[in-house]
Amino acid sequence: MDVTEYMTYDATGLAELVASKQVKPSELLAAARQRADEVNGRLNAIVVRTDDLADSIVDDPDLSGPFAGVPFLVKDLMQEVAGYPTSYGSRALRGDVATEHASVVQRWLDAGLVIFGKTNTPEFGAKGVTEPEYWGPARNPWRLGHTPGGSSGGSGAAVAAGVVPAAGANDGGGSIRIPAACNGLVGLKPSRGLAPYGPQTGESMIGMAVQGVVSRTVRDNAGLLDAIVGPHPYAGYQAPVPQRPFAEAVKDAPGRLRVGFSARSAITADPDPEAVAAMHEAAALLAELGHEVEEVTPPYDDEALARDFLTIWFANLAAEVELTKARTGATSRDFEADTLAIAEIGRAAGVVAAQQALGNVHGYVRSLVDFQQSYDLFLTPTLAKRPLRVGELTTAPLLQRLSRVVSKAKGGRVLAKTGILDDLVSQNLGWVPYTQLANLTGRPAINVPLHWTPEGLPLGVQLVGRLGEDALLLQVAAQLEQARPWAHRHPAPLAP
């Protein structure tokens, strides 16, 4: 199978070819490697190759599973592969070799996927762009000067460029949906508790961060979610597992739904007209498909939510930095200046601020539940702006040096008084103000790639569903995919 033919199939289609013995897993792996070699020098999407593992998988005569033989990539964050380092995008963890597979990785291996590399991510997944100092920036295959988003930006770029039909991702504040929107892909953040975590660590960010994939097609997203859901021995609790596989449920029409939509944001007063247009086009298409669609007032205060989200995020990052130092012997020189500044703000804010932010989460849950008494789905843009240019959010060198000095002096309270939190809200969440709601409330949310800007950049829309109604989101996404297909589109700059 040559690369051009390989790129026309999704993961489900490739698995069917292997199952019917029309192609060998080794042939698919060769095509994936060839495509990676063609494009990765320009994308910087793959940062670690796991070729020994991949070769052992395709050489296994007992290889089986619903995705047996399909090439796959995992994210270099919370998706550990035994025998290989997991850097979390940080120099501090460059030598941190995993002794066991992450639970989610083991389930992908059990499904027969052939993992041959790990993808780029910002340091500790702490940004919506993938520009770690350690690995260098990942780039968007649709326009190489722009970001593929983050924190699963490497995975998004690799899938959009045709290296693999789907790749591992995870989402603590939009990190599946943002790169899906930037790269023209499907990205579902599942309901809290469905996907496994660990066993290296417990549940990340009080359950805000969950595992999933970015994919070219909805059916791949459904099937790969089936591969990872279910009880695991290290879980502190277990969400109800759907009685019917997502891959089967996605074949059904969703029925007539009520959809409320809005692009309003206190953080971004003037969203990009293209983002608003993407939402209105999606609303119109949903109406054509028979759904009841209505513009609404957002059911929450997104500015307050952003502050609470960042307070929790900063506290979590402060703990990550200290734990990494204690476990590996890393020093502050091994971390990025932005990471140190954010961690210091989180440390200085103290336990009370973090606990207050956690306590406020229940209010957002209630507001969304009350809203969804009347509306089955909440539709927004996924991004408030077009994918940013690479380097657009890079902190000036002088401020980076200041951050290191203030961090070393434990001057987080001084930093807080400078208004840096307002700047961080505006800069880092100002272009993605719509995604954190689903993480704080634990609700499922999906990016659907329905829109491309005049200059050829993808710009997706987001649907947020009720807790546990992941199948409904996938059904609606599949309905939209059938009405306006997108999987045939490939980035012209990287055509094979």
Q: What pLDDT digit, counting tens, does each position of 101-152 carry?
A: 999 999 999 999 999 999 999 999 999 999 999 999 999 999 999 999 999 9
109 and 144 in a single domain? The answer is yes
Average pLDDT over residues 477-496: 91
70 and 197 in a single domain? The answer is yes
248 and 282 in a single domain? The answer is no
Closest CA to 172 of 317, 377, 387: 317
Residue 179 has pLDDT above 70, yes or no: yes
Residue 437 within a domain: no
pLDDT score for 411: 75
Residue 439 within a domain: no
Average pLDDT over residues 36-43: 97
Q: Which residue of the set 175, 204, 265, 407 is catalytic? A: 175
Residue 419 has pLDDT above 80, yes or no: no
Average pLDDT over residues 295-302: 95
Residue 403 within a domain: yes
- β-pairing, 258-261 vs 377-381, is parallel
Query: Treating both helix axes as pointing N-terminal to C-terminal, what angle do 11-19 and 25-43 enclose, rounded to 10 degrees?
Result: 150
120 and 194 in a single domain? The answer is yes
Residue 182 has pLDDT above 70, yes or no: yes
Domain that holds residue 349: 273-428
CATH code (residue 87): 3.90.1300.10
256 and 305 in a single domain? The answer is no
Q: What's the pLDDT band for 329 if we cut at 50, 70, 90? A: very high
Q: What's the pLDDT band for 409 if we cut at 50, 70, 90? A: confident
Average pLDDT over residues 406-435: 77
Task: Calculate the average pLDDT of the chain.
Answer: 95
Residue 268 within a domain: no
246 and 302 in a single domain? The answer is no
Residue 442 within a domain: no
- What are the pLDDT digits (tens) for 424-467? 667 778 999 999 999 999 999 999 999 999 999 999 999 999 99
28 and 140 in a single domain? The answer is yes
Annotation marks residue 175 as catalytic = yes
Q: Which residue of the set 75, 127, 189, 385 is catalytic? A: 75
Average pLDDT over residues 180-206: 95
Q: Which residue of the set 87, 90, 103, 151 is catalytic? A: 151
pLDDT score for 418: 65
Please give the share of the chain, as a percent, with pLDDT higher than 90: 86
26 and 168 in a single domain? The answer is yes
For 24, counting Cβ atoms within 10 Å of its Cβ (0-12 exposed, 13-18 middle, 19+ buried), the class is middle
Residue 265 within a domain: no
Q: HSE (CB half, 13 Å, CA atoms) of 138?
A: 38
194 and 308 in a single domain? The answer is no
Number of structural domains found in the chain: 2
pLDDT score for 424: 65
Residue 53 within a domain: yes
381 and 414 in a single domain? The answer is yes
53 and 107 in a single domain? The answer is yes
By mean pLDDT, which of 8-12, 167-171, 338-342, 408-412 is the weakest?
A: 408-412
Average pLDDT over residues 78-84: 98
Residue 2 has pLDDT above 70, yes or no: yes
Residue 296 within a domain: yes
414 and 457 in a single domain? The answer is no
Average pLDDT over residues 195-219: 94
Q: Which residue has the tokens 């495509």?
A: 35
Annotation marks residue 75 as catalytic = yes
